[in-house]
Amino acid sequence: MFKRILSTLLIIGSATANITCAESNVDVAKHTMVIAHRGASAYLPEHTLEAKAMAYAMRPDYIEQDLVLSKDDHLIVMHDIYLDSTTNVAKVFPARSREDGHYYTIDFTLEELKKLQVTETFSMGEDGPQAKYPNRFPLWKSSFQLSTFEEELELIQGLNKSLGYEIGIYPEIKKPYFHHWEGKDIASIVLLKLKEYGYSDKQQKIFLQCFDAEELQRIKFELMPAMGIDLPLVQLIAATSWGEKLIDVDGTIKNYDYDWMLERGGLRKIASYADGIGPWYPMLMEVEDGRPRANNVVRRAHRRNLQVHPYTFRAEPENLPEEFENFNQFLHFAAYQLQVDGIFTDQPDQAVNYLSRPHHGKRGY
């Protein structure tokens, strides 16, 4: 009798242990969401509708939109506040740059912006335009345009209807400080547009992201309550030296100091207005003797119920962090060592393929 009970207990015990072990691995993989960074941007020019349609077909969890305003207050889906490095603006409107040499999106109407051709990101070298990623889609081939936020929302919502998937959106309000300096309130315009398209609370598949902590607090505590909406917010974290946000201190322009965010009390502060953080992935790890391991940022963020969605995971050998031999190893590290909740990636196909497979054990790549 005693023997039978003991063996039953042992069977139950070992079955439970197996299930727990297997499920915990599968769960980690299942919950590492894939965010298509600027679309399928490794394969087609970023933020074009073509890149978004291709990303959609790869079935990520979310597709990202960066948003800036035109002169006539249309939301344009593009990464920079300048048109210089992704369009032929210098050819079409040669006299329209500002004193600093940049062509600002905010100086052009939608009608003018639609006349521009979009290409892969480039910089002007001595021998003409040089692609930022030489192995990606060739410069100036085929025909791509800038698109509005409405056009992209209708594309994604239309595909959700025709294909029956539920792929979310992940808009980013670009440089609110710059838009304020130009006399425009981009955050209010984005929120109104989201409300118009049915995004009003945490039931819809959306995250709204921004690098600007003060603007996110304004959105959380003033703008959204006034509009009767409540969307999940993500605080993006930059390095101070990048100058991602500029501030005017008694007439002197300075880089906003991001250091407080990962210091003591920083994540608690962020958790008072946001649902997640979007750090640069090196902020989550430390490397000792060439071996990467997690630091305590993800654990501290999870303790505050903050999701963690680092950027940007790129698969090409030349874009891979040197600590990893291949992209799967990098994804494995993010999912199982860092235990992040989602990743921004230029290769949503590869990330979905790897992260949707159950991986047992520590070296599943």
Which residue in 79, 179, 332, 359 is the catalytic one?
A: 79
How many Å separate Cα 275 from the centre of its chain?
14
| The two three-digit tokens of residue 55, written as one number | 């990303």
Our answer to whether residue 360 is catalytic in this structure is no
Distance in Å, CB of 65 to Ca ion, minimum: 8
Q: Which position has the token pair 């201190």? A: 249
Distance in Å, CB of 135 to Ca ion, minimum: 22
Q: Which is nearer to Ca ion, 29 or 35 (CB)?
A: 35
Q: Which is nearer to Ca ion, 66 or 349 (CB)?
A: 66
Q: Which is nearer to Ca ion, 172 or 349 (CB)?
A: 172
Distance in Å, CB of 234 to Ca ion, minimum: 10
Our answer to whether residue 359 is catalytic in this structure is no
Please give the radius of gyration of the chain, using alpha carbons only, rounded to the nearest integer.
Answer: 22
For residues 102 and 69, give the distance between their C-alpha atoms in angstroms, rounded to a whole number: 16
Q: Which is nearer to Ca ion, 278 or 292 (CB)?
A: 278
Cβ neighbors of 209 (< 8 A, separation 6 or more) are: 170, 171, 172, 173, 233, 234, 235, 236, 278
Footprint of Ca ion on this chain (CB under 5 A)?
A: 66, 172
Q: Is 132 helix (H, G, I), strand (E, B) or coil?
A: coil
Q: Which is nearer to Ca ion, 43 or 280 (CB)?
A: 280
Asked if 168 and 63 count as a contact pair (C-beta separation under 8 A), the reply is: yes
Give 122's Cβ-side CA count (13 Å radius). Answer: 24
Q: Is 361 exposed, middle or buried (0-12, 13-18, 19+ CB in 10 A)?
A: exposed
Distance in Å, CB of 66 to Ca ion, minimum: 5
Distance in Å, CB of 60 to Ca ion, minimum: 14
Just list the catalytic residues: 37, 79
